[in-house]
C-alpha cells in the first residue's frame, strides 16, 4: 500500500516538467487568449471588454479575413491531397528490391529534410521569379514569358502549393514503412484469384494503408492551416499579390504583431481552432467509411 502511494508521487515527479509546461505554456495561454478575444487590447493599455464585437467584425467588416480563409482553404485542399497521392504513388514505386533503392529514397526525402528552412523559401522565390529557373526553362522549349509566377495573382498561391507538394518525402517514408508491413501472401492469393494490379491496389493496398492515410491526413491538414514561413518569405511578409498568398497564419501574424491588435487576433485564433476542430471531426467521422482496421 505504501509502495503504491510512493509510486504516485514518483510518477508526478517524472512528469512534472510536462505539467508545469502545460499549465504555463498551453492551458493558461488558451484561457487568456479566449479572454483577449472578447477585448480590445494593444498591449500598452489594459484589455477593454468589447463582448462579441471582434467576432462580429470578422464576419461583417473584414474583407481581408475572407480572402485569407479562401486562400488557406484552397491551399490546404489542394496541397495536402496532392502531396499524399504523390507520396503514395512514389512509395509504391519504391516498394521493391531494386539496386540503389536507398539512394532514391534519400534523394526523394531531401526536399522534406530542408523544406522548412528559410533558404528553401528564398530559393523558391527566385525559381518562380520573372527571371527565374522556370521562365528560363520555358524559354528553352520555346515558350516566352516574363511574368513573375510569385507576383501574378492567379499563380502566386500555386507556387506555394508546388513547394508543399515537392516535399512529399516524409509522407513517402511513412507510406513505404506501411507498405512493407503488408504480407506478400495477400497479393499472391489475389493473383491466384486472377486479380490485376488495379484490383490489388483498391482491395489490398488501400484498405490496409488506410489507418496511416488517416493519420497523415489529419496531421498534414493541421500543419497546412499553420503554414507561415514560405508565404511570409515569398510575399515579403505582405501576403500579396492581391492577398493571394495571405494564408490565415500570416494574416493573424499581421493583426497581432504588426498592428498589435491582440484582441482581434485572439478571436481569429479561436475561429481557426474551431474551424480546424470541425474539419478534423469531419475527417474522423467519415473515416469509418474508408478506414479499415485489422482486428
In this structure, what are the phi and psi dihedrals at residue 235, rounded to the nearest 5 degrees? -100, 15
In this structure, what are the phi and psi dihedrals at residue 48, rounded to the nearest 5 degrees? -115, 125
Q: Is 39 helix (H, G, I), strand (E, B) or coil?
A: strand
Q: b/e map of 163-197 (b: 16 or more CB within 10 Å)?
A: bbbebbbbbbbbbbebbeeeeeeeeeebeeeebee
User: Quick one: 166 or 186, whose CB is closer to another protein?
Assistant: 166
Query: Least distance from C-beta 232 to another protein, angstroms?
Result: 7
Query: Least distance from C-beta 170 to another protein, angstroms?
Result: 4
- C-alpha distances out from residue 278 to 6, 78, 135, 281, 289, Å: 42, 18, 41, 5, 18
User: Quick one: 187 or 260, whose CB is closer to another protein?
Assistant: 260
Q: Count of CB atoms within 10 A of residue 25's CB? A: 10
Length, in residues, of the chain: 295
User: Quick one: 107 or 191, whose CB is closer to another protein?
Assistant: 107
Query: Least distance from C-beta 55 to another protein, angstroms?
Result: 15
Query: Least distance from C-beta 216 to another protein, angstroms?
Result: 7
Query: Least distance from C-beta 115 to another protein, angstroms?
Result: 7
User: Quick one: 85 or 189, whose CB is closer to another protein?
Assistant: 85
User: Quick one: 135 or 205, whose CB is closer to another protein?
Assistant: 135
Contact in structure between 267 and 51 (CB atoms under 8 Å): no
Query: Least distance from C-beta 15 to another protein, angstroms?
Result: 4
| DSSP assignment letter at 147 | -
Q: In Å, how far from its chain's centre is CA 252? A: 17
Query: Least distance from C-beta 82 to another protein, angstroms?
Result: 14
User: Please, what sign has the CA dihedral across residues 213, 215, 217, 220?
Assistant: negative
In this structure, what are the phi and psi dihedrals at residue 49, rounded to the nearest 5 degrees? -65, 125
Q: Is 266 helix (H, G, I), strand (E, B) or coil?
A: helix
Q: Count of CB atoms within 10 A of residue 232's CB? A: 19
Query: Least distance from C-beta 123 to another protein, angstroms?
Result: 5
User: Quick one: 203 or 229, whose CB is closer to another protein?
Assistant: 229
User: Quick one: 203 or 214, whose CB is closer to another protein?
Assistant: 214
User: Please, what sign has the CA dihedral across residues 112, 113, 117, 123?
Assistant: negative
User: Quick one: 173 or 195, whose CB is closer to another protein?
Assistant: 173
Amino acid at each position: 500500500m505504501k509502495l503504491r502511494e510512493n509510486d504516485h508521487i514518483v510518477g508526478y515527479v517524472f512528469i512534472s516538467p510536462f505539467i508545469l509546461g502545460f499549465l504555463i505554456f498551453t492551458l493558461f495561454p488558451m484561457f487568456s487568449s479566449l479572454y483577449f478575444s472578447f477585448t480590445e487590447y494593444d498591449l500598452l493599455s489594459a484589455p477593454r471588454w468589447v463582448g462579441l464585437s471582434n467576432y462580429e467584425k470578422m464576419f461583417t467588416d473584414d474583407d481581408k479575413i475572407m480572402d485569407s480563409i479562401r486562400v488557406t482553404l484552397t491551399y490546404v485542399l489542394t496541397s495536402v491531397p496532392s502531396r499524399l497521392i504523390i507520396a503514395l504513388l512514389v512509395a509504391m514505386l519504391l516498394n521493391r528490391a531494386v539496386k540503389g533503392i536507398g539512394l532514391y529514397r534519400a534523394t526523394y526525402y531531401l526536399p522534406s529534410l530542408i523544406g522548412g528552412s528559410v533558404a528553401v523559401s528564398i530559393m523558391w522565390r527566385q525559381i518562380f521569379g520573372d527571371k527565374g529557373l522556370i521562365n528560363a526553362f520555358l524559354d528553352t522549349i520555346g515558350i516566352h514569358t516574363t511574368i513573375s509566377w510569385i507576383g501574378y495573382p492567379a499563380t502566386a498561391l500555386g507556387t506555394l502549393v508546388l513547394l508543399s507538394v515537392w516535399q512529399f518525402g516524409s509522407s513517402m517514408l511513412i507510406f513505404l514503412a506501411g507498405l512493407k508491413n503488408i504480407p506478400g501472401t495477400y497479393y499472391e492469393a489475389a493473383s491466384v484469384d486472377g486479380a490485376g494490379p488495379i484490383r490489388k491496389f483498391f482491395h489490398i493496398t488501400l484498405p490496409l494503408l488506410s489507418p496511416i492515410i488517416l493519420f497523415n491526413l489529419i496531421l498534414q491538414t493541421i500543419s497546412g492551416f499553420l503554414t507561415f514561413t514560405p508565404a511570409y518569405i515569398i510575399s515579403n511578409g505582405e501576403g500579396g499579390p492581391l492577398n493571394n498568398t495571405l494564408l490565415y497564419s500570416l494574416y493573424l501574424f499581421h493583426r497581432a504583431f504588426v498592428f498589435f491588435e491582440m484582441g482581434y487576433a485572439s478571436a481569429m485564433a479561436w475561429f481557426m481552432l474551431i474551424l480546424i476542430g470541425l474539419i478534423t471531426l469531419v475527417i474522423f467521422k467519415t473515416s469509418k467509411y474508408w478506414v479499415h482496421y485489422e482486428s
